[in-house]
Structure 1
Amino acid sequence: MAITIYHNPACGTSRNTLALIRNAGVEPEVIEYLKTPPSRDTLSKMIEDAGLSVRQAIREKEKLFAELGLADATLTDEQLLDAMLAHPVLINRPFVVTPAGTRLCRPSELLLEILPEAQKGPFSKEDGEIVIDGKGNRVR
């Protein structure tokens, strides 16, 4: 099964999502998108397949978002994509692509909507929050 995660190892949500994939016994293709950004076509397709607008896929919490004036509602999707491609840190993360769909996994549990494999055991996030209990059930 092919699963790809657009990953930022410095991001806790991205690390939790990667660990949740691996907890299902799957080793995904890990693309560190800050080092290897997606193409415009790939980014556009991921956003569309996830059912998001370009504005929903941009990382508004990033300092650069404000510095570049990206909150301006008159900016087009193309202009926002240009900014995301020029500055990949503006791409919200992590995007995960599986045969069952694409999601921006914020929170990381959104992965479970598109992960075809069952979890192999209990799973807790880095902060200790339990996601999958000892019986394999999703906690929330």
Structure 2
Amino acid sequence: MDVIIYHNPDCGTSRNALGLIRNAGVEPHIIEYLKTPPTRLLLRQLIHRMGVSVRDVVREKGTPFQELGLGDPAITDDQMLDAMMAHPILINRPIVVTPLGVKLCRPSETVLDILPAPQLGEFRKEDGEIVIDAAGRRAATA
């Protein structure tokens, strides 16, 4: 099964999503998008397939978002894409592609909505939160 994750190894959410993919017995194609950013066309296609706006995929925290004035509502999608191409850190992550769809997996457990394989056992996020119980089912949330 082909699964692709646009991944930042320095991001806990991205690492947790990768862990959940692997907990389903799947070794995904990992694209470290800061080293190998998607092309403008591919990014536009991913955004379209997610069914979200370009702004929905822009990361503000820890990026030059404010310095570039990207919060201005007059900024067009094309200008936003230009900024994302010039500064890939603006692309929010992780974006996961599976046979069931494409999703920005924030929080990380949203990857479960598009994974076609079941979880194989318990999974805890890096902070210790149980996401999948020992039977491979989503843990109850508080």
TM-score under structure 1 normalisation? 0.98
Equivalent residue of 2:121, what SS? coil
* Cα offset, 1:137, TM superposition: 1.3
Query: Residue deviations 1:76-134, cap 9 Å, x none?
Result: 00000010011000000000000100000000111011000000111000000000011
Unaligned runs of 5+ residues in structure 1 are none
Q: Does 2:29 correspond to 1:17?
A: no
> After superposition, where does 1:64-83 map in structure 2 within 5 Å?
64-83=64-83
Seq. identity, %: 64
> After superposition, where does 1:42-121 map in structure 2 within 5 Å?
42-121=42-121
Query: Residue deviations 1:38-67, cap 9 Å, x none?
Result: 011111111111121000100022340001
Give aligned pairs, total. Answer: 140
User: Is the 8 Å Cα contact of residues 123 and 130 (structure 2) preserved in structure 1?
Assistant: yes
Unaligned runs of 5+ residues in structure 2 are none
User: Is the 8 Å Cα contact of residues 63 and 90 (structure 2) preserved in structure 1?
Assistant: no
Equivalent residue of 1:66, what SS? coil
CA RMSD for the aligned pairs? 0.8
User: Is the 8 Å Cα contact of residues 17 and 111 (structure 2) preserved in structure 1?
Assistant: yes
Richer in helix (by share): 1
TM-score under structure 2 normalisation? 0.96
Equivalent residue of 2:52, what SS? coil
Q: Distance in 2 between matches of 1:117 and 1:110?
A: 14
- Misfit runs of 4+, over 2 Å: none
